[in-house]
Structure 1
Amino acid sequence: MARARVHHRPRDRSVECELKFRVAGPRDHARLRALLRKRGAKLEGKYDEENYRFDGPGKSTRHTTLRLRVLDGGPRGVLTAKGPAKFVGGVKVREETEVEVKDAHATLDLLAELGFRVEFTYNKHRAAWILDGVVTVTLDTLAFGSFVELEGPLEVLPEKARSLDFDPKNALKDSYSVLARKHLQTAKRPPAKSA
């Protein structure tokens, strides 16, 4: 006997608000760690991420970023879908849905079965701090640079960035996925021939 289709109620979607800045390297991260400690920020954790960026099977995924982060080598991970970004006063704002996964490798297999393919991967070392109980400040190191990211409520991010000596007007517009793609494309280019 067939059952009636059950419709789920849409849940409130999460909105991610962030500011991202490129820094010169380890010295800037050390300076920021000292400043965060002085401000009473709490170190939430340090971990390595292996990020898998997916290409979707059709037009419906064209404006959605789908990424699987494998944490500290697995098996745990986080599957994230992000909508298109808009900018409000320099702050990047976008819908985000995240699901913790117990077996990231099985999730990779499942996504492949659904028609998603890994477009590229990139690694990130992250130290996450909580500032004033409301803003997550991450010190990130990737193959293509060192970065600081602030994530939290839209209304406090510009002020918190300035308190850490960052001008919100100088925040990067590109996501790590876009920066990684640019880095990979540059690395694949043959060296210029000298005349």
Structure 2
Amino acid sequence: MTGNTRSDISFRVNEENCQLTVDNRTTLLDALREGLDRTGTKKGCDLGQCGACTVLLNGRRVVSCLTLAVAADGTEVTTVEGLSRAGELRPIQDAFVRLDGFQCGYCTSGQLCSAVGMLAEHRAGWPSAVTDNVSPDCPPDLDEAEVRERMSGNLCRCGAYPSIVRAVLETARKETSR
């Protein structure tokens, strides 16, 4: 193998500037967990299929087990640890707690990050695979089918899906009533 196999990267994680030197093959998940001790992001399948490792990269949700750390150079990364502000839970976090949107909790960090990203996508008018009218003039209604489709990349082995859907819908309704 020739050439440089390590890179210096610089990015913001949960509003904190971070620098790391990583092997070019290091995933964002491993850089967060092993390089920066941000262990709230979970390693589930390590294949991009379960969503436990979901984080926000410049506000968009990504599975960090399939994202190379070098691709995050110069970006803003938000992990579950960065969702709350000044010790206050976000409305989605509060709804998960009140409505029992988790059981064992292993998938919860990915579910929460995905929900934050999904709600932003919905507010922006992005359609999903189940959206009937994809006209930009008619933003999709957020109902159970929409939430289930939009959150389908995040698996819950305990089956807390009904509570997760309720938490997302409640949060969305509160956001639109403000």
Structure exhibiting the larger radius of gyration computed from Cα positions: 1
TM over 0.5: no
TM-score range, shorter chain: under 0.3
Superposition TM-score, scaled by structure 2 size: 0.21
TM (norm. structure 1) is 0.20
Q: Which has the higher helix share?
A: 2
Question: When you count strand as a share of all residues, which structure comes out higher?
Answer: 1
Larger relative contact order (Cα-Cα within 8 Å, sequence gap ≥ 6): 1
